[in-house]
A = this chain, B = another copy of it.
Amino acid sequence: MMTSGPFAVEARHQNKSARTRARLMDAAVEVFARDGFEAASVNEIARMAEVANGTFYVHFKDKDAIAANVAARIATDIADQIDRAMEGMDDALDRFGFATRQFIAFASSQPQWGWVIIRAASFLPEMHRQMETHMCADLEMGCRQGQISAEIDAFLVDTITSMVFAALAARLRGDAGPEAGSRVTELVLNMLNIPPQRAHEVAWQDITLKDLHLPTQPKTERLAH
């Protein structure tokens, strides 16, 4: 008996090549989350995916290739879904608060994805930057709307990102409860000199966190060899 990860479930009805590739990606998530990118080995990923080690190289050039692939998939998956969930929202601060809270809620409900995101921060700076750019949009909208007086530059965006990531890490370690998203949102808004009352309202208002799509299916039987 073995569990199928999200990628494998998604590829269920594609051809064998795609299915094996997906198994490898799920295994990679598991290993990266557990051991970190540097400590992870191709051998271990193949073992976890229950394929021969040579099979790995049919699908990916090396560890970096699969890491980049996995990280990109996770990042765009989450970003797209958050974007879609916010489609109606106009207020920049509401958007920022929603995105932050939804991001932390989702990444901590899928701890393996969450850990990959945290670990990717140092190993795959591109992913980090992608999330920054994404967040930038709402903050700059806040400037145009006159709600944010601070100037949004790279340093500020970097600081905010590191706060959000720190909150996610605390949540994943178990050091913070489900309120982590709201707390960090309020702190960021305070930092930007939003009136405390408004910051508190944005950060703690009831929102319906969407159940982000993650096509996990329970189990799949499989005979050993």
Using a CB–CB cutoff of 8 Å, the interface residues on chain A facing chain B are 36, 38-39, 119, 122, 154-156, 158-159, 161-163, 165-167, 170, 175-176, 180, 183-184, 187-188, 190-193, 196
Contact = CB atoms under 8 A, between A and B. Distances in A.
Given A191-B187, A193-B196, A166 B158 contact: yes
A166 B159 contact: yes
Contacts of A180: 155
A95 to B, nearest CB: 20
Interface of A is mostly: helix
A183 B162 contact: no
Contact of A183 (B36, B122, B155): B155
Given A36-B38, A190-B190, 7 more contacts: A36-B122, A159-B163, A162-B162, A162-B166, A187-B191, A188-B191, A190-B191
Nearest to A188: B191
Nearest to A154: B175
Contacts of A170: 155, 158
Which of A39, A122, A154 is packed against the most chain B CB atoms within 10 Å?
A: A122
Contacts of A38: 36, 38-39
